[in-house]
Amino acid sequence: MDRDNPDPASVEEAAAIIVQGGLVAFPTETVYGLGADATCGPAVARIFRAKRRPMDNPIIVHVSCPDEVLPLVQKVDQTAEALMSRFWPGPLSILFRRSRRIPPEVTGGLDTVAIRCPDHPVALALIRAAGVPIGAPSANMSGRPSPTTAEHVLEDMEGRIEGLLDAGPTGVGLESTVVDLSCRPPVILRPGAISPEDLAPYLGEVRVADRSAGPPRSPGTKYVHYSPRARVVLVDGRPELLPPRVAELARHYSERGERVAVLCRSENVDCYQGALTLVLGPGNRPDLVARQLFARLREADLRGVTVVVAEGGFPRRGLGLAIMNRLEKASDEKITVSGGDGHGWG
Ligand code: TXA
Ligand code: MG
């Protein structure tokens, strides 16, 4: 259907499935979600079964406006208020203490709930038509790259869900930023399109959760994520230093009989002649790279690739932070190339 003009009959049909406790995949501005009535424990439990998702990994609740948050939470403080009015609708999920309207299935037993208002006409129309908040993780099989098209959803979910609203490729391509305001300084549990720099004016200091430090605060971060079936070797370092090392690794794995693909910037394609290339987009356009990343990882699987050698080196700010986070999570191994000039590349 048309993103900006959702077909009312299809939306009504999908909403009826949700109200009856069924599962509907739908587009958001980030990735496709797999939705159920967030106030109905058994419906939410079906999401976990369909995705084969561990029950302790909480899902995000989607609302159509900030007012709908009130019955779902204990309280909305001024900071949350400010973030909602600045960034909603948009790719920012905020943690609140949950009220009794949110069943424990949604939160994996935690007393907090992550809520966001998606910036997508089809998602908003679906939530309004259903008349209930919609709990929705990304509509992929657990551990696989998130779906950015309806075709990706079908690859993983065909026969496991009751409905799918197809409005073409999603815009951002990476999942929402998840922020926890309950600690000082507030913590970004998952980087996304709303960057630490975007949040700083509202939060003052803001920390990005470090995977290596202590037990994960966001249960999702402890599981394998975004991974194609292929082994992913990430080569990180200053962008201009990457191609020779990436090409060398691609040759090395090919010689060992692997089916190799190189995940690279469009300007570097010529450096990998003879190799299968999966092109992310221009290195100076993180918006385009983010939009392509998961589709290219899925393409590796469709083409039977066994080793992906991936260019890293995206600056860890703005959307680049989220791109590097997903690349690192998708990878089995990281190699850092240094220029020998003694300077960090940041
Ligand atoms: O962009 C998105 O956020 C997409 C679209 C569909 O909205 N949804 C999405 O959901 O990515 P999911 O379930 O794939 O990722 C939710 C992330 C997980 O890392 C989960 O652990 C974390 O948010 N999360 C959810 N509720 C939480 C909570 N109460 N406390 C800590 N982390 C939470
Ligand atoms: Mg997910």
Comparing C-alpha atoms, which of 324, 91, 316, 119 is closest to residue 193? 91
Q: What pLDDT score was predicted for residue 323?
A: 98
- One-letter amino acid for residue 164 of the chain: L
Q: What pLDDT score was predicted for residue 343?
A: 47
How far does residue 146's CA lie from ligand 2's centre (Å)?
Answer: 6
105-133 per-position pLDDT tens digit: 999 999 999 999 999 999 999 999 999 99
Residue-averaged pLDDT of the chain: 94
301-338 per-position pLDDT tens digit: 999 999 999 999 999 999 999 999 999 999 999 999 99
Q: Is 202 left (phi over 0), alpha (psi -120 to 50) or beta?
A: alpha
110-124, 197-211, 223-237 — most confident range: 110-124
Containing 265, the helix (H) or strand (E) segment is: strand 260-265
CA–CA separation, 294 and 155 (whole Å)? 13
How far does residue 233's CA lie from ligand 1's centre (Å)?
Answer: 26
Query: What is the pLDDT confidence band of residue 54, given thresholds at 50, 70 and 90?
Result: very high
Q: Is the CB of 173 under 6 A from ligand 1?
A: no
Atom nearest to 53 CA in ligand 1: 13
- One-letter amino acid for residue 345 of the chain: W
Q: Is the CB of 39 under 6 A from ligand 1?
A: no
Atom nearest to 172 CA in ligand 1: 1
* Of 225 and 305, more confident: 305
Q: What pLDDT score was predicted for residue 192?
A: 98
Q: What pLDDT score was predicted for residue 342?
A: 44
Q: Is the CB of 218 under 6 A from ligand 1?
A: yes
Indicate whether 224 pLDDT > 70.
no
Q: Please choose from 24, 105, 138, 217 the residue to mutate so as to test ligand 1's pocket, defined by most ligand atoms within 8 A of CB.
A: 138
How far does residue 333's CA lie from ligand 1's centre (Å)?
Answer: 25
Q: Which ligand lies nearest to the CA atom of residue 31 in the structure?
A: 1
Q: What pLDDT score was predicted for residue 228?
A: 81
The sheet with strand 134-135 has its strands ordered as 163-164, 24-27, 32-37, 134-135, 60-62, 112-116, 92-97, 177-180, 187-190, 207-208
80-112 per-position pLDDT tens digit: 999 999 999 999 999 999 999 999 999 999 999
Is there a contact between 142 and 78 (Cβ–Cβ < 8 Å)? no
263-280 per-position pLDDT tens digit: 999 999 999 998 999 999
158-193 per-position pLDDT tens digit: 999 999 999 999 999 999 999 999 888 999 999 999
How far does residue 341's CA lie from ligand 2's centre (Å)?
Answer: 39
Burial class (CB in 10 A: 0-12, 13-18, 19+), 136: buried
Q: What pLDDT score was predicted for residue 214?
A: 46
Is there a contact between 193 and 91 (Cβ–Cβ < 8 Å)? yes
Nearest CA to ligand 1 atom 12: 137
Query: What is the pLDDT confidence band of residue 236, given thresholds at 50, 70 and 90?
Result: very high
Q: What is the mean pLDDT of residues 131-136?
A: 98
Comparing C-alpha atoms, which of 159, 43, 52 is closest to residue 105? 43
Residue 337 CA: distances (Å) to CA of 242, 254, 275, 329: 7, 21, 21, 19
Q: What is the mean pLDDT of residues 140-156?
A: 97
pLDDT > 70 in the chain, percent:
93
Nearest CA to ligand 1 atom 17: 220
The sheet with strand 276-281 has its strands ordered as 276-281, 260-265, 307-311, 231-236, 333-336
16-40 per-position pLDDT tens digit: 999 999 999 999 999 999 999 999 9
CA–CA separation, 158 and 195 (whole Å)? 34
Q: What pLDDT score was predicted for residue 229?
A: 87
pTM score of the predicted model: 0.95
Indicate whether 220 pLDDT > 70.
no
Q: What pLDDT score was predicted for residue 58?
A: 97
Q: What pLDDT score was predicted for residue 344?
A: 46
How far does residue 81's CA lie from ligand 1's centre (Å)?
Answer: 20
Indicate whether 251 pLDDT > 90.
yes
Q: Which ligand lies nearest to the CA atom of residue 211 in the structure?
A: 1
Q: What pLDDT score was predicted for residue 27?
A: 98
Q: What pLDDT score was predicted for residue 210?
A: 77
Which residues have CB under 8 Å from 151's CB, separation 6+?
A: none
